[in-house]
């Protein structure tokens, strides 16, 4: 049994303000939890799971508190329509220094507000070996349930931080800043990139003017069909496939 007070506490973590205040977030499902348990620099604070999951894992991780719960209790503390065996309470990682875009490509996200897009972009960054994602402060919360689910285990490998994006870009002196826009240089004409900042704009509005003014090279994915625009995560994958 989970005490009512603990159920209420876990439910508060569905909201960003409480995740920020407590320095904690939730992950759900066997696959992502297995990645959390084996990833470096992750802190699993407590696990709530069905007996079959706990029975298979508790002897492997004796230092982590594990609590057997019923399916009914799991539903109460889950953010999913169909809870998946296990939920873990995670400590947010300590913020480390941002990787210099003079050493590698760093992704900068300008107003990405759809949780699925943000999570998928983090996963794409992981695929292409991007060492850092810098978000504007109005991006979706990377520790929100939908973002965590979309990012899968990539959230444990790709550091994500939030900055005043124009101020942060200005600080990256002598660094090329690429931006995905509709009227830029065709991507096929852009050489491979080993370092710099790649800016991805808001799903509907694109890159805001104060950030666009700081771009040193505008690039575009040429279209041959009739679609008005590309999904932000899809565009990120195409851009990185060419640039990297």
Write down the pTM of the prediction.
0.92
* Same domain, yes or no: 115 and 138: yes
Per residue in 209-228, pLDDT (tens digit) is 999 999 999 999 988 888 87
Show the tokens assigned to 197: 């900042």
Residue 103 CA to residue 199 CA, distance in Å, equals 16
Judge if 52 and 159 occupy the same domain.
Answer: no
In a 10 Å sphere around its CB, with 0-12 CB exposed, 13-18 middle and 19+ buried, how is residue 222 labelled?
Answer: exposed
Same domain, 132 and 203: yes
Question: What is the signed CA dihedral for 18, 22, 24, 26, rounded to 10 degrees?
Answer: -40
pLDDT score at 42: 80
Domain identity same for 151 and 198: yes
Please tell me whether residues 70 and 112 are part of one structural domain.
Answer: no
Whether 78 and 112 map to the same domain: the answer is no
Residues 14, 118 within the same domain:
no
Q: Is residue 96 part of a domain?
A: no
pLDDT along the chain (244 residues), means of 10: 92 97 96 89 91 92 92 94 93 78 89 96 97 96 96 93 95 91 89 91 91 95 83 94 90
In a domain? residue 141: yes
Length of the chain: 244
Q: Which residues pair with 197 in a beta bridge?
A: 106, 177
Give the domain extent around 200: 105-243
Taking the C-alpha atoms of residue 127 and residue 151, their distance in angstroms, rounded to an integer, is 11
Residue 193 token pair: 């990139």
pLDDT digits (tens, 9 = 90+) for 158-179: 999 999 999 999 999 889 999 9
Rounded Cα distance, 222 and 186, in Å: 6
Contact (Cβ atoms closer than 8 angstroms) between residue 105 and residue 195:
yes
How many domains does the chain contain in total?
2
Residue 112 sits in a domain of what CATH number?
3.40.1280.10
pLDDT at position 229 is 76
Q: Count of CB atoms within 10 A of residue 11's CB?
A: 15
pLDDT score recorded for residue 96: 66
Whole-angstrom CA distances from 65 to 18, 55, 57, 103, 177 are 22, 13, 11, 40, 46
Whether 68 maps to a domain, the answer reads: yes
Contact partners, residue 58, CB within 8 Å, separation at least 6: 66
Question: CA-CA distance, 225 to 134, in Å (whole number)?
Answer: 32
């Amino acid at each position: 049994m989970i005490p009512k007070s603990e159920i209420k506490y876990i439910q508060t973590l569905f909201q960003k303000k409480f995740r920020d205040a407590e320095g904690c977030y939730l992950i759900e499902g066997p696959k992502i939890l297995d990645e959390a348990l084996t990833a470096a620099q992750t802190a699993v604070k407590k696990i709530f799971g069905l007996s079959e999951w706990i029975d298979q894992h508790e002897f492997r991780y004796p230092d982590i508190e594990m609590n057997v719960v019923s399916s009914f209790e799991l539903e109460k503390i889950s953010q999913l329509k169909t809870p998946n065996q296990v939920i873990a309470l995670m400590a947010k990682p300590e913020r480390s220094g941002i990787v210099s875009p003079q050493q590698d490509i760093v992704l900068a996200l300008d107003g990405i507000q759809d949780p699925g897009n943000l999570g998928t972009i983090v996963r794409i960054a992981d695929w292409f070996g991007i060492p850092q994602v810098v978000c504007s402060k109005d991006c979706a919360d990377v520790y929100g349930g939908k973002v965590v689910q979309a990012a899968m285990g990539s959230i444990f490998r790709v550091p994500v931080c939030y900055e005043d994006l124009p101020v942060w870009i200005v600080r990256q002196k002598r660094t090329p800043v690429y931006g995905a826009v509709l009227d830029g240089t065709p991507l096929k004409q852009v050489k491979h990139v080993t370092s710099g900042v790649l800016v991805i704009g808001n799903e509907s509005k694109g890159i805001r003017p104060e950030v666009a003014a700081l771009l040193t090279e505008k690039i575009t994915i040429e279209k041959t069909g009739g679609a008005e625009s590309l999904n932000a995560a899809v565009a990120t994958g195409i851009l990185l496939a060419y640039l990297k």
